Structure 1
């Protein structure tokens, strides 16, 4: 708040306080010539008379005490423009103190799982319940409450992992996040194979999960050479991808952005940029381990269930 607005707020507050004091004082005094409190000439039902008696002194004094309290409050706490108050209180400090207190309580709950591998944590039903709660509060916004994802957000309940599904790789993904970048290849492919080059590559990519469809497929045959000239660097000759780069396996039936021809064309021509935020600064390492253990358990049900029995 700049100085001008600060003085404006101070003036408004002061005017209201002075106005309240004046109003109490003015209305509580009797002026010469005022009628008696019983002389109002207001009658109802013949025998009910309205009086105009002043407020009792004790009641008026309570109002004055309230005004004095408000002045003290404004001196002690911030409320007069940019004046911070003699206490130095702020909602930010209050929030931070409450958060620190609650975090200490939570750390006592999470402490038994500190430093444990997530596949070990996944064998503990209590730990999985904690991880599921953290997931619902933090991750479900993107991946859904069932962890099955959506267009552009990976399904975490299957066994397909673009960045690797080992306990260490899953934990690294949660802690430090991922940046998946598919470059724009539209102009490059068009320069190599003409205006239909992107469609040729789309046709060839579709055959990677169904090799038999390559037979007598002119578009796929044209797309193969283009694929080998551009796409193999990340996805490999066989289309199996590269988990170190986050390049997906093109031979399975899972498509992060959809498997329609239009979606594949857009992916190849215009590229994609998927971002998984780092949750180390958001959750801390132990809570990140718990949620990673829960996510890992979704695709390893047989291994975690066997340990529970």
Structure 2
């Protein structure tokens, strides 16, 4: 059964957002007529938003179908023991034309108890950033629940938030319990646990077309905060060419930076699926006699059963992800 598996592509699931824009269409060639494309879900097993295969003999099957059929051949033995028929990661590209809401995510324990969900540890790779654009990550001073609530109630939250100016290639690791927001003009690749649980604490007082403000979740959020986190969210990493350079490694995923200008013969010794997100150029990935090209803004899944493969490119920058 496993010999049928090959490098798999999925049809992106595009999300219209109040803060979204047109970069995903204009820069990443996502096919959509949506007015405000905020997110492209590249690989998703979120309930109601399951990715569908777009290439090869498995075209038309869902990620859930693949998990039920191929099990550990798809995601790896250890992963299958832990996650069973749930895919553990949600992979996205995000375009913020306007500021996202100030938000945070619950940990595994809280998310399981309240939402029957995983928590939402995530990371961002800044794909493109307009001049003087920001990310909000954490606070600009030591914080207590009392001080936080005082600023929240007085609508002065932005005075205590940490604004970081960003440029292409900047990388951030966002642990659960840390307040954050993507600022206007920033496009990121996001790797996260499979979860769609977000607690909004402030949304810039904006309203939709009908004059309604979006729901806030301050009662839920206060228990999800970790006010004692160090400022260790900025990620430094090497950029050695033709080599997998570790960016983030945590219990939920590892992400490497891979800049390629030749043919690389690779071995998968992680006992995991591999995901490649192309953030610059294009590359051809060959495995099990199948070849598939990925271009800037595209994503591909290599099933765990594929031991050896090749990546060929003259100019690609890839994010390499596994669990």
TM-score (norm 1): 0.27
- Higher relative contact order (Cα pairs below 8 Å, separated by 6+ residues): 1
Q: 1 or 2, which has the higher helix percentage? A: 1
